[in-house]
Chain A
């Protein structure tokens, strides 16, 4: 019996190494967490600020470094290797925004960077806002009970 094209194509499509990718993402994501914790502790120690303020400084540092490394042209290789280990933390958001800004910078400040910078990361902002609204509603309802 003749096989359908879909069956033939499926047979020759390679499987992605899901398990290895997950392990790499788990380890690199964990390392990111450790670095972030070191930063928080460091800021608390050196700058004599509260943990809450140090957390903000840590986020700013990671965002700055992701943007800098993206602009220097090697961060995409790290992201490609670490996958979700670098995409899920704030580094992924900064990387996506920065790469789009770099890509469109030649099309002008407003029409290029302004209109396209959030091409990839715009969705994160929109759904971040929507989900935080939903969760705060849930929290409010639970608080009233």
Chain B
């Protein structure tokens, strides 16, 4: 399903990260970077809650909006019951829609925000996502201090929170259209190869977007995927060409961009719901404001992995939601 939006803009964005992200190539673009993973909190779960609260506080300050004028918050994170988001939102007296689409949450949040605004139901919406490396490792993988060897295709969950103020006010970046993806089973049950699980979903969503809206891939100056990593990126390129005869040329993956892959021990690259928006809201938006890129297609990808279902020997379903972002002409 593809929705074309008439009057929706991302007015302002805010990004807060942990130490690894600030040492990556985009460190200087982030609004706030912490030096450890606790941020002064007692545990990682509460640290993630703080990440969200910090990002929202910065956004409200930067966007110069009153909390009273925010109609609804839309957001989520990776942990069970999206607990950090719920706890972070308990500090506000605003309506809140909690969502879950694993690492594709950022674009789903943008599409939902834009739909509410374009439908006339809301004027200002804040959408946020977050992820925390050690909190996610604890829930999905092994204890953090456990040093069992990891495979080359493993991705590194990014620590950070990114939020965006979406409104009908003509300012910032235009949210032109959005495609809601389908859940795809790519036949992969390898939890250390999420890139393979998600690349098919990304390919299908990008193709669906182009088909629904009647565009060529060249229409976009840049196509971005969420967190496929080095190997997933190559799989997607090959898959798009083989399946849909689309050559991805001006294409990159935010998972590959967020860290310095040569120096940082992050294996195949970054992952997590915060990965795609951290890169997009900071570096990409900065370049868009300089008009280096005019039209960007962002397809965040999410592996809807459940450790229980993996133990049942089932495959990892994945999803990808895409948004088209444009510089205001």
Contacts and interface: CB of A to CB of B under 8 A. Distances in A.
Contacts of B138: 103
Nearest to B150: A80
Given A5-B200, A99-B143, A100-B146, A11 B238 contact: yes
Contact of A80 (B143, B149, B234, B235): B149
B149 A95 contact: no
B142 interface: yes
Interface stretch (B9-17, B185-193, B216-224, B289-297): B185-193
A132 interface: no
A80 B147 contact: yes
Contacts of B147: 75-80, 95, 99
Nearest to A75: B147
Contacts of B143: 96, 99-100, 102-104, 119-120
Interface string B62-94: 000000000000000000000000000000000
B231 interface: yes
Interface in B192-242: 193, 196, 199-200, 231, 234-235, 238-239, 242
Main secondary structure of the interface of A (DSSP, over half): helix
B193 A8 contact: no
A14 B143 CA distance: 25
B43 A9 contact: no
Interface string A70-103: 1101011111100100010000000110111011
Nearest to B45: A106
B36 interface: no
B142 A120 contact: yes
Given A2-B243, A9-B235, A16-B152, A120 B146 contact: yes
A99 B147 CA distance: 9
A5 B152 contact: no
Contact of A12 (B42, B144, B231): B231
A85 to B, nearest CB: 11
Given A95-B147, A99-B144, A13 B231 contact: yes
A9 B186 contact: yes
A96 to B, nearest CB: 6
- Of A6, A8, A87, chain B has the most CB atoms within 10 Å of the CB of A8
B43 A106 contact: yes
Given A3-B242, A13-B153, A103-B138, A87 B148 contact: yes
Contacts of A98: 145
Max count, chain B CB within 10 A of own CB: residue among A5, A9, A16, A100? A9
Contacts of B263: none
A21 interface: yes
26 contacts: A2-B242, A5-B187, A8-B238, A8-B239, A9-B196, A12-B231, A12-B238, A14-B153, A16-B151, A21-B149, A75-B145, A75-B147, A76-B147, A80-B148, A80-B149, A83-B149, A87-B148, A96-B143, A99-B145, A100-B143, A102-B143, A102-B145, A103-B144, A103-B145, A106-B42, A120-B143
Given A77-B147, A80-B148, 5 more contacts: A14-B231, A79-B148, A79-B149, A80-B149, A96-B146
Interface of B: 42-43, 138, 142-153, 186-188, 193, 196, 199-200, 231, 234-235, 238-239, 242-243
